[in-house]
């Protein structure tokens, strides 16, 4: 009776490994003893070889034998590491006891042999070459991986963790498509990767296997791929929650992409703060740049669709956006006077505006914004004074200008005044420009107060005789004064205003040419006031909001004109009449002292004059001033500038 190859294989294995055809309970018949002995003398390797050859033959016949794509045998079956193989004109069938018999042919076989065949890391095949579901290509699975082929890509292997993730993502039918490379070590980094038609999968022992594709992958490779600072991916490309875009996280940062912005990386402290602010779904939106060094300053930044985040080792990472950022960049950004931000943009306590604080110099710096004023910077000593007054909730309100140069110093303007810094003295001068309603329509004759204070005021219009004597007396007694200057006097003595304000005194407007205002038109009055104001400002001071009528000549119309120009009209409680001189020797300093003391009262405004009498050259006010101060103090009075009248 002729036995089939499978039957012969079974008998051979049973005889080689099990000790015979019968069970262990019965021995072989005596007539068969010699045959059994002969079978037992066959080496086990020959039995396995025969089994492999039979399995190969059986699979060959299942595939159609010589009529199949494999064609006719080429030579005999032969040993390969761990199994057997048989070549055919159209391919090879490989066999191992652990995998069975499967064919490999064409480009896949070529690649398989290049990778070492069964002796390589792929080992023996687990499938015949098979069409890839959902994709126009072919593949073989092997014990150690797979080889995929398409006409457009060729044949490449994928194995291990990368293959596992590749299959999770749909294999060739997924967005990655067919491989373009075998798994390869990543240059400069301890890991592996496969490139695919639609992207790549990267693997390291510390991160696992994840894909990167499209514009994000392009940017990733530009930045050095796994060997760059980003390192290996920690996620596949993923949609950004709450925003129309995509991202990959990497060991060293992330790359974000949207159709409108492109693909850019964000990492380190900047990325940490970006995520705190909502990432792409926050007000900053998607990045517009990679992290970049800040020109002219030791730090880094990323620009985003909605602003920027700046970082330095000394300040940390903070965002700047909108109108504040626009002004910040106009001022030079981190390389400018403001330095790096030390806060995000924040709402002001009054609920109206916004601000960023910056590292700056000279006591810090800020930019403040409100709908009514726009964005303006405040820094240094001027900012310190504004802070001391109460920021935007002070009487000054929000800044309406940045800091700018004036003669002898610097200045910021605010909604209701200005702060001036005088370089020669280091003095900070606060100017309030708003006129309280109680001072409208009046020519103020005393400060409205119950406190025992006196305001010493000095008019200047003729010459500057005794100015230095008066300033020396005020300094010696620590008394402030208010000086009303005409524009013509400032033009005649251009260095004198600096002497006055650097000594800590207040300046007021006394008109340009000292005319009688009651004889002028409204337009002429406005011109007199504005010309004097510009002249005094050009000298580095600011007379607002105090105005004194020349000769004291005024009426309701002229007072209204002064108010319309932003000034409060200030008269006096007592005129010392020192400007009249000695009156042929009948008056001396004591006359001045008596007049002032006779009118002493809370809020007294004393009118004195600079300059000498044109007839006798006397300067009685300067001569009387030390005694005036001493006797007023003895009577319990203190001294203020006219700013006390503003409340």
The sign of the dihedral angle between the CA atoms of 381, 387, 389, 392 is positive
Looking only at the bridges linking them, the beta strands covering 145-150 and 199-204 are unpaired
Which residue carries 């800040």 as its tokens? 294
H helices present in 63-187, as ranges: 106-114, 160-168
Which of these is catalytic: 53, 413, 443, 459?
A: 459
- Calculate the alpha carbon distances from 202 to 33, 149, 160, 163, 508 in Å: 63, 20, 12, 11, 76
Give the pair of three-digit tokens for residue 509.
């407007």
Report d(CA 201, CA 641) in Å as an integer.
Answer: 77
Report d(CA 174, CA 169) in Å as an integer.
Answer: 6
- Please give the order of strands across the beta sheet that includes 300-304: 292-293, 300-304, 307-312, 316-320
* Core vs surface per residue 380-392: b (16+ CB within 10 A) or e: bbbbbbbeebebb
Report d(CA 394, CA 108) in Å as an integer.
Answer: 81
The sign of the dihedral angle between the CA atoms of 273, 274, 279, 285 is positive
What 3-state class would DSSP assign to 83?
A: strand
- Please give the order of strands across the beta sheet that includes 427-432: 404-406, 409-414, 417-422, 427-432
Report d(CA 524, CA 516) in Å as an integer.
Answer: 11
Length of the chain: 647
The DSSP H or E segment spanning 432 is strand 427-432
Give the pair of three-digit tokens for residue 543.
């007379």
Report d(CA 215, CA 142) in Å as an integer.
Answer: 33
Looking only at the bridges linking them, the beta strands covering 292-293 and 145-150 are unpaired
128 catalytic residue (yes or no): no
Terminal Cα-to-Cα distance of the chain (whole angstroms):
129
488 catalytic residue (yes or no): no
Contact 319/308 with Cβ under 8 angstroms? yes
Which of these is catalytic: 139, 321, 609, 621?
A: 609
CB atoms within 10 A of CB 75: 8
Catalytic positions, please? Answer: 459, 609
């Amino acid at each position: 009776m002729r036995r089939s190859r499978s039957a012969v294989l079974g008998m051979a294995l049973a005889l080689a490994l099990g000790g015979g055809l019968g069970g262990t309970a019965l021995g072989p018949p005596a007539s068969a003893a010699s045959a059994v002995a002969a079978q037992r003398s066959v080496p086990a390797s020959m039995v396995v070889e025969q089994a492999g050859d039979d399995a190969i033959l059986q699979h060959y016949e299942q595939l159609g034998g010589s009529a199949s794509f494999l064609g006719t045998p080429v030579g005999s079956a032969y040993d390969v590491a761990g199994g057997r193989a048989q070549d055919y004109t159209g391919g090879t069938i490989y066999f191992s006891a652990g995998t069975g018999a499967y064919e490999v042919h064409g480009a896949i076989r070529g690649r398989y042999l290049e990778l070492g065949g069964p002796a390589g890391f792929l080992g023996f095949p687990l499938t015949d070459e098979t069409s890839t579901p959902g994709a126009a290509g072919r593949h073989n699975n092997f014990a150690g991986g797979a080889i995929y082929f398409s006409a457009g890509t060729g044949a490449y292997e994928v194995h291990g963790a990368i293959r596992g993730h590749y299959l999770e993502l749909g294999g060739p039918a997924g967005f990655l498509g067919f491989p373009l490379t075998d798994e390869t070590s990543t240059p400069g980094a301890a890991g592996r990767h496969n490139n695919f038609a639609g992207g790549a999968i990267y693997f390291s022992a510390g991160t696992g296997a994840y894909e990167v594709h499209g514009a994000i992958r392009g940017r990733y490779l530009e930045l050095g791929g796994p060997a760059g600072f980003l390192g290996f991916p920690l996620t596949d490309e993923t949609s950004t929650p709450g925003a129309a875009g995509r991202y990959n996280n990497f060991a060293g940062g992330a790359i974000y992409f949207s159709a409108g912005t492109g693909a850019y990386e964000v990492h380190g402290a900047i990325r940490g703060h970006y995520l705190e602010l909502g990432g792409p779904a926050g007000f900053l939106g998607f990045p517009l740049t990679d992290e970049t060094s800040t020109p002219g300053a030791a730090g880094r930044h990323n620009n985003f669709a909605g602003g920027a985040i700046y970082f330095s080792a000394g300040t940390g990472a903070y965002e700047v956006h909108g109108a504040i950022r626009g002004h910040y960049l106009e001022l030079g950004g981190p390389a400018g006077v403001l330095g790096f931000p030390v806060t995000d943009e924040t709402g002001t306590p009054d609920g109206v505006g916004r601000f960023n604080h910056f590292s700056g110099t000279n006591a810090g710096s800020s930019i403040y914004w409100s709908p009514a004023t726009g964005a303006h910077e405040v820094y240094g000593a001027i900012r310190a004074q504004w802070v001391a007054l109460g920021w935007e909730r002070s009487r000054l309100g929000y800044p309406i200008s940045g800091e700018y140069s004036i003669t002898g110093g610097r200045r910021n303007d605010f909604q209701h005044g200005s702060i001036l810094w005088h370089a020669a003295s280091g003095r900070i001068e606060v100017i309030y420009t708003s006129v309280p309603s109680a001072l409208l329509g009046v020519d103020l004759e005393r400060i409205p107060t119950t406190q025992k204070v006196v305001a010493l005021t000095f008019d200047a219009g003729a010459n500057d005789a005794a100015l230095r004597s008066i300033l020396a007396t005020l300094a010696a007694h620590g008394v402030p004064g208010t000086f009303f200057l005409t524009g013509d006097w400032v033009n005649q003595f251009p260095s004198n205003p600096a002497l006055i304000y650097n000594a800590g005194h207040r300046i007021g407007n006394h008109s340009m040419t000292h005319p009688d205002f009651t004889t002028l038109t409204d337009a002429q009055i406005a011109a007199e006031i504005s010309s004097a104001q510009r002249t005094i400002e050009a000298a580095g001071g600011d007379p607002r909001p105090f105005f004194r009528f020349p000769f004291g000549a005024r009426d309701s119309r002229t007072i209204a004109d002064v108010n319309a120009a932003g000034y409060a009209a200030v008269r006096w409680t007592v005129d010392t009449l020192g400007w009249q001189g000695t009156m042929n020797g009948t008056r001396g300093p004591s006359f001045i002292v008596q007049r002032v003391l006779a009118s002493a009262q809370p809020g007294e405004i004393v009118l004195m004059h600079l300059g000498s009498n044109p007839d006798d050259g006397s300067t009685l006010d300067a001569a009387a001033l030390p005694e005036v101060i001493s006797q007023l103090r003895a009577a319990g009075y203190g001294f203020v500038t006219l700013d006390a009248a503003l409340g």
